[in-house]
Amino acid sequence: MDKSSALSFDNFSFIYGGNKRKSPSVSDISFNLNEGEVLILAGPSGSGKSTLSYAMNGIVPWRLKGFMKGDVRIFNKSVWDYDFMELSEKVGLVKQNPIDQLVTFRVKDEIAFGLENLKYHEEEIKKRVKEVSEFMGIGHLLERDVDQLSGGQKQLVILCSFLVMEPSILILDEPIAFLDQKSESFLLERLNKLIKSPKYNLTVVIIEHRLSRVVDFADKIVVLAEDGTIRLKGKVSEVLKNNFDVLRKCNVRVPWINNVFFKFKESLSPETKEITIPTNFRELIKIPDELSKNELEKFATILKNTEIKPNILEKYDKFEEKIEFGELYTQKMLKRVVNKHESQESSIIDLNTKNNKKFILETIDLNFKYPNTDIKAITNLSIKIREGDFIGLIGPNGSGKTTLLYLLANLYEPTSGQVLFKNKPISEYDPHEYARKIGFIFQNPENMIFKPTLKEEILYGPENFGISDKIDDKYLKKLISLIGNEEESKNPFNLSWGQKRRLNLSSIFVYKPDIILLDEPFIGQDQRTIDSIIETLYIENKRGKTIIISSHDYHLLLKYTKLIIELNKDGSLRNYDSNGNFFNKHKNLGPIVLMEKIKQKLVSAVE
Distances (CA, A) of 463 to 252, 273, 328, 473, 491: 37, 63, 20, 14, 19
Split at pLDDT 50, 70, 90, the class of 319 is very low
Closest CA relative to residue 394, chosen from 212, 247, 155, 577: 577
Please write the tens of the pLDDT for every residue from 22-49. 889 999 999 999 998 999 999 988 889 9
Q: Are residues 167 and 60 in the same domain?
A: yes
Which pLDDT score, from 0 to 100, does residue 452 have?
92
Per-residue pLDDT, averaged over 467-491, amounts to 84
Per-residue pLDDT, averaged over 119-148, amounts to 91
pLDDT over 90 at 232, yes or no? yes
Q: Are residues 366 and 280 in the same domain?
A: no
Which pLDDT score, from 0 to 100, does residue 349 have?
29
Task: Assess if residue 350 is contained within a domain.
Answer: no
Please write the tens of the pLDDT for every residue from 53-78. 999 988 888 888 889 999 999 999 99
Q: Are residues 438 and 530 in the same domain?
A: yes
- Residue 551 structural domain: 355-571
Q: Are residues 77 and 182 in the same domain?
A: yes
Per-residue pLDDT, averaged over 426-435, amounts to 92
Task: Assess if residue 116 is contained within a domain.
Answer: yes
Q: Are residues 270 and 400 in the same domain?
A: no
Closest CA relative to residue 402, chosen from 496, 517, 325, 573: 517
Q: Are residues 95 and 243 in the same domain?
A: yes
Please write the tens of the pLDDT for every residue from 386-425. 999 999 999 888 889 999 999 999 999 999 999 999 999 9
Task: Assess if residue 587 is contained within a domain.
Answer: no
Q: What span, in angstroms and rounded, lies between the C-alpha atoms of 217 and 290? A: 27
Q: What span, in angstroms and rounded, lies between the C-alpha atoms of 192 and 283? A: 20
User: Which residues, in sequence order, are CB contacts of 438 under 8 Å at separation 6+?
Assistant: 408, 409, 410, 513, 514, 515, 517
Per-residue pLDDT, averaged over 429-441, amounts to 92
Pairing status of strand 573-578 against strand 563-567: antiparallel
Which pLDDT score, from 0 to 100, does residue 317 have?
60
Q: Are residues 243 and 302 in the same domain?
A: no
Q: Are residues 93 and 184 in the same domain?
A: yes
pTM of the predicted protein model: 0.77
Q: Are residues 367 and 223 in the same domain?
A: no
More confident residue, 304 or 337: 304
Of 3-7, 105-109, 440-444, the range with the highest mean pLDDT is 105-109
Number of domains in the chain: 3
Omega cis (within 30) before 61 = yes
Task: Assess if residue 226 is contained within a domain.
Answer: yes
> In what order do the strands lie in the sheet containing 515-519?
438-441, 515-519, 546-550, 390-394, 563-567, 573-578
Among residues 195, 218, 249, the one where a domain terminates is 249
Please write the tens of the pLDDT for every residue from 557-596. 878 888 999 999 899 999 998 877 777 776 667 888 899 9
Beta-bridge partners for 419: 363
Q: Are residues 93 and 140 in the same domain?
A: yes
Which pLDDT score, from 0 to 100, does residue 408 have?
97
Q: Are residues 375 and 412 in the same domain?
A: yes
Q: Are residues 468 and 551 in the same domain?
A: yes
Please write the tens of the pLDDT for every residue from 517-527. 999 888 777 88
Q: What span, in angstroms and rounded, lies between the C-alpha atoms of 299 and 605? A: 14
Per-residue pLDDT, averaged over 365-393, amounts to 91
User: Which residues, in sequence order, are CB contacts of 483 under 8 Å at separation 6+?
Assistant: 454, 495, 499, 502, 503, 506
Split at pLDDT 50, 70, 90, the class of 356 is low
pLDDT over 80 at 513, yes or no? yes
Q: What span, in angstroms and rounded, lies between the C-alpha atoms of 421 and 429? A: 9
CATH code: domain of residue 503 = 3.40.50.300
Task: Assess if residue 338 is contained within a domain.
Answer: no
Task: Assess if residue 397 is contained within a domain.
Answer: yes
Task: Assess if residue 93 is contained within a domain.
Answer: yes
pLDDT over 60 at 429, yes or no? yes
For the chain, give the percent of residues with pLDDT over 90: 41
Among residues 222, 249, 276, the one where a domain terminates is 249
Task: Assess if residue 341 is contained within a domain.
Answer: no
Among residues 205, 220, 249, the one where a domain terminates is 249
CA end-to-end span of the chain, whole Å?
Answer: 61
Q: What span, in angstroms and rounded, lies between the C-alpha atoms of 514 and 520? A: 20
